[in-house]
């Protein structure tokens, strides 16, 4: 197996991959389709919930059926029952944008302390530098910690928890930061990697347990693995242009899943790329993932 479709999700904009180790389930979202999906590996089907807003990501909390969800209006605690029945919005944890704003959350990860690091963008005009990087701490405080960005994307935290990557997709640039995980602070921002026009745009990404970085290429029809120094070490081509996110899953974290999108493809491109928007699995080339940390805060504002 090099590349295969594992779920025909047909997402407008597939994103937000997250492995829930407690339940052995893979989570993903369709941002513009306003869908949250959960899949038990090996099952031919998945469970799905429709939500009233665009949804960027889902992260696990200490409670089995509760998740922290990145919606258009902000971060919300939601109950997503194991039996697939209707989801319930329990409370808003943080609302970093004004009411009616075109801004939305886009991608997020937790650090070893359970803090949430989440980026944003202007959904109506991605050329505007309205994106920011937010941090939700253990007390439930949501603070803006970096910006501006055109399209903030793909936070990724190293296995040693001493540095973090964050992307401005619009600028084709991945930045590195030093991370003080005890204090929850970033410093020493610098350019880690710039994509060429032929590479497309850097989108979602993740570290493997060996300290290498896997990056999805929007408009580049592939995922790539880079060394800590940003040197290309491996590349896997996919049969669709818009590749959005990458995540390790499975009990041994030795399976690699990739989301894709139909958004931005012409009718001719969609006809030539019938698997656009589906969930793929690719050969991880001997890499394994890092166990995710549940969100460290679960109360309401």
DSSP letters along 146-166, please? EEEESBEEEEEE-TTSSEEEE
Q: Determine the pLDDT at residue 297.
A: 80
Across residues 118-130, what is the average pLDDT? 95
Q: Determine the pLDDT at residue 84.
A: 73
Across residues 220-231, what is the average pLDDT? 98
pLDDT in tens, 89-115: 999 999 999 988 999 999 999 999 999
Q: Determine the pLDDT at residue 113.
A: 96
- Please give the share of the chain, as a percent, with pLDDT higher than 90: 90
Q: Determine the pLDDT at residue 108.
A: 97
Rounded to whole angstroms, the Cα distance separating 79 from 160 reads 32
pLDDT in tens, 29-67: 999 999 999 999 989 999 999 999 999 999 999 887 899
Which residues are catalytically annotated? 203
pLDDT in tens, 57-94: 999 998 878 999 999 999 999 998 877 788 899 999 99
pLDDT at 301 over 60: no
Q: Determine the pLDDT at residue 65.
A: 81
Alpha-carbon torsion (169, 174, 180, 181), positive or negative = positive
Triad 145, 17, 130: Cα angle to 5° = 35
Q: Which strand (E) or helix (H) includes residue 271?
A: helix 267-272
Across residues 179-186, what is the average pLDDT? 97
Higher pLDDT, 167 or 100: 167
Q: Determine the pLDDT at residue 259.
A: 98
Taking the model in full, what pTM does it have? 0.96
Q: Determine the pLDDT at residue 1.
A: 60
Rounded to whole angstroms, the Cα distance separating 257 from 84 reads 22
Say how far residue 278 (Cα) sits from the centre of its chain. Answer: 15
Mean of the per-residue pLDDT values of the chain: 95
Q: Determine the pLDDT at residue 85.
A: 81
Across residues 127-139, what is the average pLDDT? 95
Structural domains of the chain, with CATH = 3-282 (2.120.10.30)
Rounded to whole angstroms, the Cα distance separating 51 from 74 reads 13
pLDDT in tens, 148-157: 999 999 999 9
Rounded to whole angstroms, the Cα distance separating 152 from 28 reads 18
Rounded to whole angstroms, the Cα distance separating 206 from 220 reads 17
Q: What does the block give as tokens for 30?
A: 């369709």
Give the three-state DSSP class for 7: strand
Q: Is 119 in contact with 149 (CB distance < 8 Å)?
A: yes
Confidence of residue 300 (pLDDT cuts 50, 70, 90): low
Q: Determine the pLDDT at residue 291.
A: 92
Q: Determine the pLDDT at residue 64.
A: 76
- Torsion angle of C-alpha atoms 259, 289, 56, 108, degrees rounded to 10: -150
Q: Determine the pLDDT at residue 62.
A: 86
């Amino acid at each position: 197996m090099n590349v295969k479709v594992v779920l025909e999700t047909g997402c407008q904009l597939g994103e937000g991959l997250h492995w829930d180790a407690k339940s052995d389930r893979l989570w993903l979202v369709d941002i513009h389709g306003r869908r949250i999906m959960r899949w038990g590996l090996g099952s031919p089907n998945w469970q799905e919930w429709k939500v009233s807003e665009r949804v960027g990501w889902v992260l696990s909390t200490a409670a089995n059926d509760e998740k922290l969800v990145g919606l258009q209006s902000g971060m919300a605690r939601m109950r997503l029952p194991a039996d697939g029945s209707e989801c319930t919005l329990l409370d808003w944890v943080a609302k970093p944008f004004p009411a009616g704003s075109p801004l939305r959350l886009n991608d997020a990860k937790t650090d070893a302390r359970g803090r949430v690091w989440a980026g944003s963008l202007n959904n109506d005009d991605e050329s505007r530098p309205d994106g920011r990087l937010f941090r939700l701490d253990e007390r439930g405080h949501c603070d803006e910690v970096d910006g501006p960005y055109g399209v903030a994307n793909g936070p990724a935290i190293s296995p040693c928890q001493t540095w973090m990557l964050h992307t401005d997709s619009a600028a084709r640039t991945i930045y590195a930061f030093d991370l003080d995980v005890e204090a929850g602070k970033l410093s020493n921002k610098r350019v880690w990697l710039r994509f060429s026009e032929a590479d497309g745009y850097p989108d979602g990404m993740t570290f493997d347990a060996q300290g290498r970085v896997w990056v999805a290429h929007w408009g580049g029809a592939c995922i790539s693995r880079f060394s800590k120094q940003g040197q290309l070490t491996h590349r896997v081509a996919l049969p669709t242009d818009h590749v959005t996110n990458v995540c390790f899953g499975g009990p041994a974290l030795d399976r690699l899943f990739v989301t894709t999108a139909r958004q931005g493809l012409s009718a001719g491109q969609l006809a030539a790329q019938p698997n656009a928007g589906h969930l793929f699995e690719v050969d991880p080339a001997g890499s394994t993932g890092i166990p995710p940390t549940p969100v460290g805060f679960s109360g309401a504002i």
